[in-house]
Structure 1
Amino acid sequence: MNRRIFTRTSCALALAALAPLASAQGWPEKPIRLILSQPAGSGADAMARLIGDQLSKKLGQPIIVENRPGGQNAIGAQAAAKAPPDGYTFYFATAAALVMNQYLFKALPYDPRKDFIPVGMVGRVPFAVSVNPTSQFKSMHDLVSFARANPGKLDVANEGPKTFSGMMVGLLSSQLGVKVNSVPYASVSAGVTDTVGGQIEVIVSDVPSISQMVKAGKLRPLAVTTAKRISGWESVPTIAETLPGFDYAGWIGIVAPAGTPPAVVQRFNREMEVVLSDKEMAARLLAIGPMTEGAGTVAQMGTFLDGEHQRWAKLTKELGILPE
């Protein structure tokens, strides 16, 4: 009798273990949602739709981009976190949604670490320190020299103290040993407009937001925040050339609700890798914003996220930023 019960139990456990694999073999059988926290028409929206279109061709089902903006990414993140983990919802997530928010806000309607599992990396978004073309600053050395000689007199536009650009201003001030006047703007476009118009001399912003102004000669970049010079901007130095080891960039990755079948995640990751490894696709994405080097593996994405949590926990502590 005990042997019979043991055999039945073993069979049941084996079938339960195989269930996700079996369900994944027929996946996908219907359209897939790709949720993002940015509005329609934004740069992230353009990226999601471009990638989603190519993924749909690989998977044989439509990828429906669903915009859930607002709440410092919390609305979209919560919608993705609470979605059924059946392989038909994925989250097109920013660094803020998956990492930074945890160290900036006391309470979130989702848990960045527990509610999602990694799928793959989309790409990194470099930031830059730029000036009005008429500025006296021709290099980072000029800017730093002025800031040291004139504490608190250099105005630097950004999107606020708890945004990526705002924290870059704080980090640069700390590591360079200078005091600047951080000027927050409600949007990067407003900051760009004032810098182009001469109302403010310096701005820290993501590269995609200023690329057209740079091409038109209305802004002059002094340095980028990534460790290596970026494609198309090879003449622009990196901050790391002044501060060795400095390497910061925004990024976008894809995650799934925790509990999504591993076989589904692996399949989605493989198709992401194929799509993002295409040179034409990489060039099209770069024109919008991110630099991609492929999706990487699921394990690599997980390791990357762990490293980012360690980095931002340390950075917010260094800058004295407390969750609110």
Structure 2
Amino acid sequence: MNRRQFTLTLSAAALYATSFTASAQSWPDKPVKLVLSQPAGSGADAMARMISDQLSKKWNQPIVVENKPGGQNAIGAQAVSRAAPDGYTFYFATAAALVTNVYLFKNLPYDPRKDFVPVGMVGKVPFAISVNASSKIKTLSDLVAYAKANPERLTVANEGPKTYSGMMTRLIGAQLGIQVNSVPYASVSAGVTDTVGGQTEVIVSDVPSIAQMVKAGRLRPLAVTTAKRIAGWESIPSLAETLPGFDYAGWIGIVAPARTPAAAIQRFNRDLDAVLSDKDMAARLLDIGPITEGAGSVDQMGAFLAAEHARWAKLTADLDILPE
């Protein structure tokens, strides 16, 4: 390369860097839409609105939270996958929408690996195994002993075989070597109600869904599904203490339609990380459910998604679960 070519190359690189910075600084110059697959009033909806409120202050632009529930997350995911990749539509997505649906459903109306690009992580949501507070089952060891003495009689409420809680029910049963009677519910709240009422003996659910009943002394958590005990529930053992290496949690991340401008993604990531790194915000989110450690980088989010796909592909194969 001669001196003239070298100078031109440097000039082009500088021009690109300047235009990228200018683009990042000017975005957004109109309202941003944040789509989620859960209904208004849900825990995910509350999280999305709390985060959006802080981001809108940083951007001096409103963020419109749009609820598109239904279809095991497919309705919301499909809407975002078909949105214009102009940097003004993003998806507040669950593990089911971005990963597990791929291994449970044959015909999804979207492809999470091709239709979206990562923006950042919001947080992880631990799950728990809980019983009615009046149950004679006091510990995880009690549960295993009862289930082994009464094969397939232990009733375990969850949200159905193609949901995270349903998958956890199967996985936990397989790894503990017990056979249970899995009872699917249309909603986690219905499962909680029946377990509190004694219609089912156990419930596998996300921690936020049972938190109030635990505080009220009506449910007793036996274990959490994360590798370590969780803040505020330090007296509850993790499943990893019985099953070394066990570490599963639901999670929420933000993605954008494929081909969304990099400047918008980088700005969103940077500001999302700043919002989530605020101690007060982290504490407020923890009250609703997710444990956040900041957004991480775009590349970290991408690597996390790839690792989750590899893990769930193996898990469903090991459990002989085929997409239907």
Give the alignment's TM-score, normalised by structure 1: 0.93
Kindly indicate whether the alpha-carbon contact (under 8 Å) linking 1:35 and 1:90 is maintained by their aligned counterparts in 2: yes
CA distances 1:205-259 after superposition (whole Å, capped 9, x unpaired): 1100000000000000000000111111000000110000000000000001111
Aligned to 1:162: 162
Give the structure 2 partner of residue 4 of structure 1: none
* Aligned pairs (5 A) from 1:38-57: 38-57=38-57
- Aligned partner of residue 107 in structure 1, secondary structure: coil
Please say which of residues 13-22 and 238-247 is displaced more in the overlay.
13-22
Whole-angstrom distance in 2 between the partners of 1:259 and 1:24: 16
Q: Alpha carbons of 1:189 and 1:255: their partners in 2 closer, same or farther (altered >3 Å)?
A: same
Task: Compute the displacement of 1:24 (Å).
Answer: 3.5
Q: How does 1:147-296 map to 2 (within 5 A)?
A: 147-296=147-296
State how far apart, in whole Å, the 2-side matches of 1:244 and 1:179 are: 20
The answer (yes or no) to whether the contact 2:225–2:240 under 8 Å persists in 1 is: yes
After TM superposition, give the deviation of residue 13 of structure 1 in Å.
12
2:66 is matched with 66
Residue 114 of structure 1 corresponds to: 114
Q: Alpha carbon RMSD of aligned pairs, Å? A: 2.0
Seen in structure 2, the aligned counterparts of structure 1 residues 22 and 280 have a Cα distance that, compared at 3 Å, is: closer
| Structure 2: distance between partners of 1:14 and 1:259 | 23
Q: C-alpha offsets along residues 13-60 of structure 1, whole Å, 9 cap, x if unaligned?
A: 998998766543421100100011111111111000000000111112
CA contact (8 A) 1:24 1:261 kept: no
Query: Identity of counterpart residues, as a percentage?
Result: 76
Structure 1 contact 120–295 (Cα < 8 Å) conserved: yes
Look up the match of 2:309.
309
Quote the Cα distance in structure 1 between the aligned partners of 2:19 and 2:274: 27
2:102 & 2:19 partners in 1: Cα distance?
A: 34
Partner of 2:132: 132
Q: Distance in 1 between matches of 2:21 and 2:83?
A: 20
Does residue 35 of structure 2 align to residue 35 of structure 1?
yes
- Matched residues in 1 for 2:201 and 2:317: separation? 29
Q: Could you tell me how far apart the structure 2 residues matched to 1:102 and 1:15 are?
A: 41
Amino acid corresponding to residue 136 of structure 2 in structure 1:
Q
Q: Tell whether the 8 Å contact from 2:37 to 2:77 is kept in structure 1 after alignment.
A: yes
Q: Which moved more, 1:258-267 or 1:228-237?
A: 258-267
Aligned to 2:7: none
In structure 2, what residue type is equivalent to 1:53?
D
Aligned-partner SS, 1:306: helix
- 5+ long unaligned stretches in structure 1: 1-10
Retained in 2: the 8 A contact 1:125–1:206? yes
**Structure 1 CA distance for aligned equivalents of residues 199 and 189 of structure 2:** 14
**Kept in 2: contact 1:48–1:65 (CA 8 A):** yes
Q: CA deviation at 1:268?
A: 0.6
Query: Following TM superposition, by how much is the alpha carbon of 1:107 offset from its aligned partner in structure 2, in angstroms?
Result: 1.1
Preserved contact between residue 132 and residue 198 of structure 2 (Cα < 8 Å): yes
The residue correspondences of 1:88-99 to structure 2 (distance < 5 A) are 88-99=88-99
Q: CA deviation at 1:86?
A: 1.1
Counterpart of 1:128 in structure 2: which amino acid?
A
Q: Deviations over 1:164-202 (max 9, x none)?
A: 111111001111111111111111111111111111111
CA distance in structure 2 between the aligned counterparts of 1:22 and 1:319, rounded to whole angstroms: 50
The amino acid across from 1:262 in the alignment is A
**In 2, Cα distance between the equivalents of 1:18 and 1:79?**
33
Paired AA for residue 201 in structure 1: E
Q: Secondary structure at the match of 1:91?
A: strand
Is the Cα contact below 8 Å between 1:20 and 1:261 reproduced in 2?
A: no
Using the TM superposition, give the Cα deviation of residue 260 of structure 1 relative to its aligned residue in structure 2, in angstroms: 1.0
